Amino acid sequence: MTKIKEALEILKRGCVEVISIEELENKLKLAEKESRKLVVKLGADPSAPDIHLGHVVVLRKLRQFQDLGHEVQFLIGDFTGLIGDPTGKSKTRPVLTKEEIGKNAQTYRDQIGSVLDMKRTKIVFNSDWLSKMNFQDVLMLAGKYTVARMLERDDFENRYKTHQPISISEFLYPLMQGYDSVAMKADVELGGTDQKFNLLVGRSLQREYGQVPQVILTMPLLVGLDGVEKMSKSLGNYVGISEAPKDMFGKLMSIPDNIMWNYWELLTDHDMNEIKKMKNEVEEGKLHPMTVKKDLAVEIISQFHTHEEAKGARDEFEKVFSKKENPTDMEEYAVSESELSPLDISVVLGFAPSKSEAKRLIKQGGFKVDGKPVTDPFSSVTITDGMVIKYGKRKFGKIIKK
RNA sequence: GGAGAGGUUCCCGAGUGGUCAAAGGGGGCAGACUGUAAAUCUGUUGGCGGACGCCUUCGGAGGUUCAAAUCCUCCCCUCUCCA
């Protein structure tokens, strides 16, 4: 197999779609011949610098391009961020200040560095070119696409059919994103399958502006912790890559058993045959799903923390949730009173968002003093030094008597 | 511009004068169970007061009434059809 073929094999893996393979092959050949790097584009939202495992699926693919010698241009959509991608429900968003954008960009830099090779990564902002366009430029751009073609987009079509509002500015969004590719002279653009339409607009526009259209690669959307919706920050069903190992571990253990195969496939380098083998063994009852899930969690966490930390998270999880023991490290709280009610303790330790909620939780048996439930919110608890309070499933606190 | 429909609690969605803090579902939380923060089942789900109670909430602002999510006025927003 030639080098190019090998590269193609690597790049194809895991993709839902590549448009088109032939074009990608040509680009790779040309790049080699002219000994230049392909510009590989990935766009990101400026307001949510909180990279989660869903993004990692795509970032890993970018990394493969880098390992093959190409350059990643990580686009921060500080200008498009004013509208918000219609894929979501959000409409216009508050304008971010330059400082905020700069800060978010730095956060991105810090976070994507755990997956990407930052020496081969360039960060760009689309306000650099979009904010300079005047109304005439916008008209020219808008003239290159039709309403009917816009409505082909799944999301628009659905909303249109179900009588949901679509603002004109939302129609502009794909055009802006497409124009980014023109401005960046992108050779390749990656995205989740939900981005396919936008990516294709990029191709059309590049053609209109006399460029060779970018090749697009779409990646599967990672299912979130609920096992149903795609992983996203706004749905709260995500694992952030800068989270603490123990939080990552807990969250990963909360995914439904049946979607963990998906995680194995998209988030680890594990051999596909081995993954299938594990799946069969679980189905045959030879392997406990929990064990497999724990291994998965360790393997994922090790990519963002040390292997030791990942294993530590596992031990801690087993200790707290399987053996129902107290965590090794607990937040300590100094208390001077000698008697307090469970309700007061919940409030004093800051565990309860509201007193009504605390009362409910206590009555339901979710409040424990040294492992023993106290269900009367108003009973009197004698405060002793080193006393351990458990509030709900995950909140622990150790009391230090003053 | 004209005609019609609609805006309800985290989300979807019922409710058209008091019995409404508001059905039902989703989600969340808690408990039980399980060698999982899986699955399943049960409970719970505005806030403040230990209970009887009070306060804030049904697009916004006023008004009618002993009493309004429900009636009236004006305004804002969305959708449909016509132009």
3-state secondary structure of A188: strand
Per-run averaged pLDDT (10 residues), chain A, 402 residues:
80 86 88 88 81 93 92 89 54 64 85 91 92 91 89 85 84 91 94 91 92 93 89 87 93 93 92 91 89 95 94 94 90 92 94 93 94 92 93 93 84
Please state, in angstroms and as integers, the Cα–Cα distance from residue A144 to each residue in A83, A112, A201, following that order. Answer: 20, 34, 10
This model's pTM is above 0.90: no
CA A95, C1' B63: Å apart?
39
d(C-alpha A121, C-alpha A227), whole Å: 32
Give the pLDDT of residue A382. Answer: 93
> CB under 8 Å to A66, separation ≥6 — which residues?
A72, A116, A117, A120, A121
Query: Which pair of structure tokens corresponds to residue A115?
Result: 């997956």
Cis geometry, peptide bond prior to residue A20 (ω within 30 degrees of 0)? yes
| Predicted pLDDT of residue A91 | 47
| Location of structure tokens 């603490």 | A244
pLDDT of A163 reads: 81
Provide the phi-psi class of A47: left if phi over 0, else alpha when psi is between -120 and 50, else beta.
alpha
- Could you tell me which of A55, A60, A11, A53 has the C-alpha nearest to residue A31? A11
Helix, coil or strand: residue A200: helix
Asked if residues A191 and A214 have their Cβ atoms less than 8 Å apart, the reply is no
- Please identify which residue in the block is written with the tokens 């795609």: A230
Strand B and A324 CB separated by under 7 Å? no
Quick check: A240 CB within 7 A of strand B? no
Query: Is strand B less than 7 A from the beta carbon of A164?
Result: yes
Å separating the CA of residue A159 from the C1' of nucleotide B80:
14
**Nucleic strand B within 7 A of Cβ A325:** no
Q: Which nucleotide is nearest to A320 (CA to C1')?
A: B37
* Structure-block tokens of residue A253: 């253990």
A364 touches strand B (CB under 7 A): yes
C-alpha–C-alpha distance, residues A14 and A369, integer Å:
49
- Distance, Å, A291 CA → B5 C1': 55
Domains of chain A in sequence order: 2-219 (3.40.50.620), 245-322 (1.10.240.10), 331-401 (3.10.290.10)
Q: Cα-flanking dihedrals φ and ψ of residue A84, to 5°? A: 95, 135
Q: For strand B, which residues in window 249-308 of chain A come within 7 Å by CB?
A: 249-251, 253-257, 288-290, 293
DSSP per position, A144-185: TS-HHHHTTSHHHHHHHHTT----HHHHHHHHHHHHHHHHHT
Chain B positions with any atom < 7 A from a protein CB: 27-32, 35-39, 43-50, 78-80
Map residue A213 onto helix, strand or coil: coil
Based on DSSP, count helices (H) and strands (E) in chain A, helices before strands. Answer: 17, 13
Backbone CA torsion sign across A220, A222, A227, A228: negative
Side chain identity, residue A314: R
